[in-house]
Amino acid sequence: MFSMRYWPFISFLFLSIVVQAQKDVTPALEIIKTCIENKDVNNPLETLNTFQYDSYENLKIAGNPEAITGSGYKKTELRRTLLKTGVFLSEKTSDIVNDQSQGFKELITAAFMPGFETPVYPIYNINFQSRNLYQDTYVVFDQHYINPISNNGLNSYNYETIGDTLIENRKINIIGFAPIETSISTLSGTLYIDQETKAIAKAHYNIYKDLRVETKHDFVYDSLHHLWYCSYSELFIKKTNNIKEIELFGGRFEVGTRKQKDIDSETDELYLIMKRYQKNFKTNRKVNFGQKGVSIEIPETSIDKPLNYWDTYRNEEPFTTQELANFMQLDSIVMAEKVTRKLEVIEKFKVGYYPVGFFDIDLKYLIKFNEYEAFRIGVGGTTNDKFSEKWRVSGYGAFGTKDKVFKHNITLGYRISEENNTWISAYKTDDINEFAGARFLTDARVYSLFEPRLINIPTFYLYKEYGVSLQQRLFPSVISEFSLSRKRISQTTNYVFAPDGNPFINYVLAEATIAARWSPKSEFMKTPKGYQETTKGYPILSGQVTKGIQGLLDSDFNYLKFSGKASYTINRINGSKTAFLLEGHYASGDVPLSHLFHAYPNAPTKDEVLQRFSVAGRNSFETMYFNEFFSDRIATLQMRHNFAPFHITSWLNPELVITSRYAIGDFNDIGDHLNIDFKRLNKGYTESGFELNKLIYGFGISATYRYGAYHLPQFSDNLALKFTFYLEI
């Protein structure tokens, strides 16, 4: 034991050590804190009413194509191009505008991608490198990293004063930073901070992990506004001996080393270099922002510039004679290697199509399974622009191996406006549909190798429908659809609808439906081919109103239905996310049960837990039995929290998800619906569980438990064990 008389000496010694450590750390930390406090004042995008400049950017990928590993579409187009040319090039010039009232806008004035008749527009969706160094995150290849100039950065990095220097005759502090704990979301590097304004005057960021990534930002000083403007940026990526996927052209490419003895180590290199030059800075002037709600715009005039247009810009970024010769060969090489065709396949396969000439085969119709039809075998698709830019013909045919009945749809559409993607269509359908399976007309198309709930659904109705629809993008963030249809409904069960004691087994419905989907926080790109969502923002809001019109086209019932949905997702820098989905439906009038609502149940009505083992849905109640509840007014709330993936090996990165769901509803006039037993949902239904996804080939497992007002006496009846399937295309 230490004697108490030594305690003052020990305390003094400890304090001296702490003070000495603070002498080394405090100056750098204080400079960074002051930089953070002043970042709104030093950020031209925040402190100026308007800010505008010119930008030239080029992307070059060069090196040994054998360094691009992987199978299938992940390597084909880029690897084959590099195999012949040794280089890939993309260039663009832009007018960059920021307006405090309207936001940020990039108008691409010229776009050039040798080898392609028109540029591959999705490449312009990629955020290769942050333009703004004052945001909370720094972006490389759409991957977000904790910015050292942020409050989160203070808890994530150690800072050290390296020295002083002069940039444009101004005194500059040089601050080095490194992560306290290495993670997938941290950087290292050097910051050059103006001693007077505490603004960034230069920056270098590094990532030395699976890939060697180096970035650079140079600034020029505006003495009138006392601001530093970024004049030059550079991104350099070099492969290492590990495998790492990068995304280009909407497809994934694995950058790494193929272990082949015949490849010389000195030539086994792959480089990706992007350089961006910015000049002609204009501040607080009237600007022509263009269309509001569009962050990137590529007009038709930008893609047909003469080759000598680029000479001025290439003088700033010199190319070797060999590189220029290679660029000139790209047209014939891309054509010979059918690169454009491969890119077309990638883009359409991601949403479930496979192009064959003028026709895109719809892969989701090939094979399905449900209790009524057993195996449902079919084929479907739609014509594409090679058939006509104004007209399209789409449809499908399907045959059930159990019911032995052929189903079909045929749709003829005419495009009124390319810019707003306005289509008017007429259609005819003869098929089956799920009882009470409400859907939103404007829901985005979701492609999956199979539809999870479809396997379990036991109750369908038959319908023959014809109608017309009008689809239009009212604004970049708003899509809408109006439809007018007539349906003749027949039953596959003994269900009878008897409003006011008047029984109907079969009936006719005439409906007018108007729907809209609004993404107020999303960012969009406008190209000659229309609008593309570049960044999905939340919330996403959907609304729909349906009017059943009695007497129109021999319709039997008069009713009104309202539906609404709101989704919100919080994405975090470590890869975790939390998602909320709120959905509600309301109906009044004489509505048959086939067209009312349920909470998307997904539990087969079987006795044993293992007998109910099946596929979990995406937004379904896993412990709720089919036909257990129906409602004429219902609200559901679902919450999902995805933890960051567990990086076990390069091929095993499982994801743990915690889920919780709640539903409440009610039903008037249950006695009008005969030969079917169901309950009201007025007490509130709750279930919670977990999923462990992507264990192997996209498959995982889940467990969910029912509790609360509708808890069942036997434990096993409240439990749902299922496998999950999440496959990224």
- pLDDT of 678 > 60? The answer is yes
Neighbours of 611 (CB within 10 A): 10
- pLDDT of 287 > 60? The answer is yes
- pLDDT of 11 > 50? The answer is no
> In which band, very low, low, confident or very high, does the pLDDT at 89 lie, cut at 50, 70 and 90?
confident
- pLDDT of 74 > 50? The answer is no
Q: Whose CA is closest to 483, among 511, 451, 524?
A: 511
Average pLDDT value for residue range 161-174: 94
Helix (H, G, I), strand (E, B) or coil at 324: helix
DSSP letters for 407-456: EEEEEEEEEEETTTTEEEEEEEEEEEEETT----TTPPP---SS-GGGGT
pLDDT digits (tens, 9 = 90+) for 349-375: 767 788 888 999 998 888 888 889 999
Angle value at C-alpha 142, between 339 and 282, nearest 5 degrees: 100
CA distance linking residue 698 with residue 450, whole number of Å: 12
539, HSE (Cβ side, Cα atoms, 13 Å): 11
The separation between CA 101 and the C-alpha centre of its own chain, rounded to angstroms, equals 26
> In which band, very low, low, confident or very high, does the pLDDT at 239 lie, cut at 50, 70 and 90?
low
pLDDT digits (tens, 9 = 90+) for 587-637: 999 999 999 999 999 998 888 888 888 888 888 999 999 999 999 999 999
Per-residue confidence (pLDDT) for residue 233, from 0 to 100: 95
The separation between CA 594 and the C-alpha centre of its own chain, rounded to angstroms, equals 33
Q: Which helix (H) or strand (E) holds 314?
A: helix 311-316
Length of the chain: 729
CA distance linking residue 464 with residue 507, whole number of Å: 11
CA distance linking residue 219 with residue 159, whole number of Å: 22
Tell me the whole-structure pTM to 2 decimals.
0.82
pLDDT digits (tens, 9 = 90+) for 504-542: 999 999 999 999 999 999 989 998 888 888 888 999 999
